[in-house]
Amino acid sequence: MSLLEVKNLQVRVEEREILHGLSLTVNQGEVHAIMGPNGSGKSTLSHVIAGKPGYEVTGGEILFKGENLLEMSPDQRSAKGVFLAFQYPVEIPGVATMTFLRTALNAQRKARGESEFSTPDFLKKVREVAARLNIPQDMLRRGVNVGFSGGEKKRNEILQMALFEPSLCILDEMDSGLDIDALRVAADGVNALRSPDRAMVVITHYQRLLNYIVPDVVHVMSKGRVVKSGGKELALELEASGYAQFEDAA
Amino acid sequence: MNLALAKTETGRALSDAFAVARDRLPGAGGVADARRQAFDAYQRAGLPHRRIEDWKYTDLRVLMRDVLPLAAAPDAAALTRAGAALKLHAIAGVRRLVLVDGVFAPGLSQMADPEKGLGIRTLREVLEAGDSAPPAPLFAADTSDAMVALNSAMMTDGLVIEVADGAVLAKPLHIVHIASGAVPAAMFTRSLLRLGKAAGATLVESYIAAEGAKTYQVHDSLVVSIGDDARLDHVRLIEDSREAFNISSALVSLGAHAHFNTFGMTSGANVSRYQAVIAVAGEGSRVETNGVNLLNGRQHADTTLFLDHAVPNCSSREIFRAVVDDRGHSVFQGRIIVRPKAQKTDAKMMTRALLLSDQAEADNKPELEIFADDVTCGHGATTGALDESLLFYLRARGLSEKEAQALLIQAFVGEAIEQIASDGLRELAISAAERWLAARG
């Protein structure tokens, strides 16, 4: 059984069809890259998998560990092991990062019927992960993402990924707004989380990110479909020739 | 015209209630005369209604349908029920002063061993002392407001607290109003707090009900004078039963270089109005008055603040938050008056409302009346819903819809709660907000 199976997915946003029969299969332990020009539907795919409201699925299905993902609320999907690292993580003033992390982790554990973490155990775990990601303690006391730089926001997403231990991570344009140093730190954080039990879907516009997070499979999306799939060399090919050839193909 | 208005059904019933209760009310002579005058003042003004600007959103002719009989002194059973309710709201390390059904309950209170400089008597004691002249501030309170005047006429008990010059109380005072609620009844209470020069105190007021309390009415007033260089930290938590009616007023005056940090939260009662009149009468004083309304069902809560800057070089801050769900109705009125002499006044007010349902209503009315020309004053008001993108982010991290809302609501009201200067008092307010969120399910 595959971890994630997207079959012939059709999605509308306000009467406009964005995904026209997209299929994608991701197995445990694999890292997939989804590349494509702006407007090809990459972010829509990530939002629909995570359960963001505002999208109407008009056809197809998404199975996660064999279960119908589309019937689950966003929080149920999260508890099942789906994690979306946001392209633009939101700022939540007044909610301390630590409080947020503990509430989220315990909500997921509770939903799975696991016991909640005690405060000392939780603090120990967060400190360990934060130290690995170069996240200073004072950042954890501040409001979620409030006043964080672009790089800090992305590191905060990776911190959550490390803490929640999801089985599927979707990284939506993780490289946007990051300089090369920040990108390297974030990519190192992601690479540390690669594991045979975990799959990743890396959505990106540029090949650059894939120098740091090397994928097993590369998909090219255009106009709401996957138009070509291949190995990591496909990304380099795209870098040289651009997306134009696929726009015609689609 | 006002006389005519007073003779609505409710108005007439109140006149009858006063006539019936008069002989049972403590105090004779000068006190009885003052009561009569106060009742006349009430009658002239009549029950406040929507055509009186200050009461525009809280029309008592509509919202106060019944006049309930004056509550009887609590019997043993009532005190037992009150004691049980008290356990849930008891705060460690305070001096507790309990009023049950508007009557001081010595058995539930801690009057013994007052700290040096602290004097506490009951209002009943003071009224019955037979002084030909009752303590001036007892009746000198603003009688231009009908409900304060009514309170003056009918008050039965309360606490009269004096903190001597230079005395800084280590233990907070906690006045707890408990409705035992076996039968529908009205209670009229008044408390006085006088802080001498350079004195310091912390006052918490809680309004609660015994389990299963029937409908009841709370009419309360607090008269405070803060001496020169004195400081009062004050928190008021209205957690009355959902069938209760609560009209309470705080009348506060500050001397020079005094500091008043006050916070009020209304999460209980069916209909409530908390009105504070704060007179900044001494130079160099500071006032922070903040509050939160947390409402659902069909609750109506009105918080009305009048801040009167009469002298130069004072500052005031008002931060107010309302969270309204279902068909709840929140009212916030904040008026800041800066009189001609009050140069260099620094006054700011910000009120924000969060509506959780399509039928929720919030009326925000900030007003500045500035008669001095060298001041820094500002106000703002916003109303909105929870941010969908924040809700989705939290839900994508595993929080249920209610949990995500609760976290965002806590953050929203936190902006007002964090203005509370003392850590302990802040915790009290946070707990009260959590109780409301937990009851929401």
Could you read off the pLDDT of A166-191 as tens digits, one per residue?
999 999 999 888 888 889 988 998 99
Cβ of B403 under 8 Å from any chain A Cβ? yes
pLDDT on residue A50:
97
Whichever domain contains A56, its CATH number is 3.40.50.300
Cα three-residue angle B332-B324-A89, rounded to 5 degrees: 110
Contact B412 A50 (CB under 8 A): no
Taken in order A126, A127, A129, A135, is the CA torsion positive or negative?
positive
Best residue of B321, B323, B354, B392 to probe chain A, by most A CBs closer than 10 Å: B392
Q: Which residue has the higher pLDDT, A238 or A165?
A: A165
Neighbours of B24 (CB within 10 A): 10
Give the C-alpha separation, B319 to B380, whole Å. Answer: 10
pLDDT on residue B233:
98
pLDDT in tens, B20-46: 888 889 988 888 888 999 999 998 888
- Print burial letters for B10-19: b (CB count within 10 Å at least 16), e (below 16): bbebbeebbe
For residues B378-407, give the mean pLDDT.
96
Quote the DSSP letter at residue A10.
E
Best residue of A49, A55, A78, A153 to probe chain B, by most B CBs closer than 10 Å: A78
Neighbours of A147 (CB within 10 A): 10
Cα three-residue angle A152-A158-A160, rounded to 5 degrees: 105
Please report residues of B whose CB lies closer than 8 A to that of A79: 398
Kindly tell me if the per-residue pLDDT of B130 is higher than 80.
Answer: no
Kindly tell me if the per-residue pLDDT of B292 is higher than 50.
Answer: yes
Residue with tokens 């009120």: B351
Please report residues of B whose CB lies closer than 8 A to that of A52: 392, 396
CA B277 to chain centre: 10
Q: pTM, whole model, 2 decimals?
A: 0.91
Kindly tell me if the per-residue pLDDT of A3 is higher than 60.
Answer: yes
- Confidence band for A248, pLDDT divided at 50, 70 and 90: low
pLDDT on residue B103:
97
Which of B400, B410, B411 has the CB atom closest to A107's CB atom? Answer: B400
Average pLDDT in chain B = 92
Helix axes B401-417, B423-440, angle to 10 degrees: 150
Kindly tell me if the per-residue pLDDT of B9 is higher than 90.
Answer: no
From chain A, which residues contact B within 8 Å (Cβ)? 50-53, 73-75, 77-79, 84, 86, 89-90, 92-95, 99-100, 103-105, 107-108, 111, 143, 160, 164
Taken in order B146, B152, B157, B161, is the CA torsion positive or negative?
positive
pLDDT in tens, A135-162: 888 889 899 999 998 889 999 999 999 9
Percentage of residues in chain A with pLDDT exceeding 90? 75
User: Which of A211-220, B37-46, B95-104, B401-410 has the least mean pLDDT?
Assistant: B37-46
Which of A74, A86, A92 has the CB atom closest to B411's CB atom? Answer: A92
Contact A103 B403 (CB under 8 A): yes
For residues B299-323, give the mean pLDDT.
97
Contact A100 B407 (CB under 8 A): yes
- Confidence band for B428, pLDDT divided at 50, 70 and 90: very high
Kindly tell me if the per-residue pLDDT of B115 is higher than 60.
Answer: yes
pLDDT on residue A53:
95
Give the C-alpha separation, A156 to A162, whole Å. Answer: 10
Kindly tell me if the per-residue pLDDT of A23 is higher than 60.
Answer: yes
The dihedral formed by the CA atoms of A110, A112, A115 and A118, expressed in degrees to the nearest 10: -60
Residue with tokens 């037979």: B130
For residues B257-261, give the mean pLDDT.
98
pLDDT on residue B2:
41
Rounded to a whole number of angstroms, the distance from the CA of B426 to the nearest CA of chain A is: 15
Give the C-alpha separation, A158 to B164, whole Å. Answer: 58
Kindly tell me if the per-residue pLDDT of A132 is higher than 90.
Answer: no
Please report residues of B whose CB lies closer than 8 A to that of A104: 394, 397-399
pLDDT in tens, A48-88: 999 999 999 999 999 999 999 999 999 999 999 999 999 99
How far, in Å, are B39, B187, B217, B438 from residue B25 at the CA level? 13, 12, 17, 40
pLDDT on residue A249:
53
Cβ of B414 under 8 Å from any chain A Cβ? yes
pLDDT on residue B1:
36
Cβ of B415 under 8 Å from any chain A Cβ? yes
User: How far is the first Cα of chain B from the last one, in angstroms, to the nearest whole number?
Assistant: 48
Q: For strand A56-64 and strand A31-35, is the pairing parallel, antiparallel, or unpaired?
A: unpaired
pLDDT on residue B8:
65
Give the C-alpha separation, A59 to B310, whole Å. Answer: 69
Q: Check: CB of residue A2 under 8 Å from CB of residue A26.
A: yes
Give the C-alpha separation, A4 to A63, whole Å. Answer: 6
List strand residue ranges (DSSP E) for chain A, in order. Answer: 4-13, 16-26, 31-35, 56-64, 67-68, 82-85, 92-96, 143-144, 168-172, 199-204, 217-222, 225-230
pLDDT on residue B3:
43
Give the C-alpha separation, B440 to B292, whole Å. Answer: 16
pLDDT on residue B135:
65
User: Which of A238-242, B354-358, B394-398 has the least mean pLDDT?
Assistant: A238-242
Three-state secondary-structure class, residue B56: coil
Burial of A168 (0-12, 13-18, 19+ CB in 10 A): buried
Give the C-alpha separation, A183 to A175, whole Å. Answer: 6
Contact A50 B399 (CB under 8 A): no
Give the C-alpha separation, B286 to B309, whole Å. Answer: 10
pLDDT on residue B138:
73
Kindly tell me if the per-residue pLDDT of B441 is higher than 80.
Answer: no
Give the C-alpha separation, B434 to B440, whole Å. Answer: 10
pLDDT on residue B6:
44
pLDDT on residue A185:
87
pLDDT on residue B226:
97
- Name the residue among B68, B94, B13, B275 with its Cα closest to residue B179: B68
A97-101 own/partner pairs: CB under 8 Å, 24+ apart: A97/A139, A97/A140, A97/A141, A97/A142, A97/A143, A97/A144, A97/A145, A97/A156, A98/A126, A98/A140, A98/A141, A99/B407, A100/A144, A100/B394, A100/B397, A100/B407, A101/A126, A101/A140, A101/A159, A101/A160, A101/A163
ipTM (interface predicted TM): 0.96
Contact B400 A90 (CB under 8 A): no
Q: For strand A16-26 and strand A4-13, is the pairing parallel, antiparallel, or unpaired?
A: antiparallel
- Confidence band for B4, pLDDT divided at 50, 70 and 90: very low
Rounded to a whole number of angstroms, the distance from the CA of A247 to the nearest CA of chain B is: 31
Range of the domain at A114: 4-249
- Confidence band for A104, pLDDT divided at 50, 70 and 90: very high
Neighbours of A71 (CB within 10 A): 10
pLDDT on residue B132:
58
Percentage of residues in chain B with pLDDT exceeding 90? 80
Kindly tell me if the per-residue pLDDT of B309 is higher than 80.
Answer: yes
Kindly tell me if the per-residue pLDDT of B272 is higher than 80.
Answer: yes
For residues B372-398, give the mean pLDDT.
96
Please report residues of B whose CB lies closer than 8 A to that of A117: none
What are the residue boundaries of the structural domains of chain B, listed by start?
A: 2-386
Q: What are the counts of helices (DSSP H) followed by strands (DSSP E) for chain A? A: 10, 12
Domain count, chain A: 1
Give the C-alpha separation, B131 to B28, whole Å. Answer: 9
CA A56 to chain centre: 20
pLDDT in tens, B77-106: 999 999 999 998 889 999 999 999 999 999
Q: Which strands form A56-64's sheet, in the order they lie side by side? A: A16-26, A4-13, A56-64, A67-68
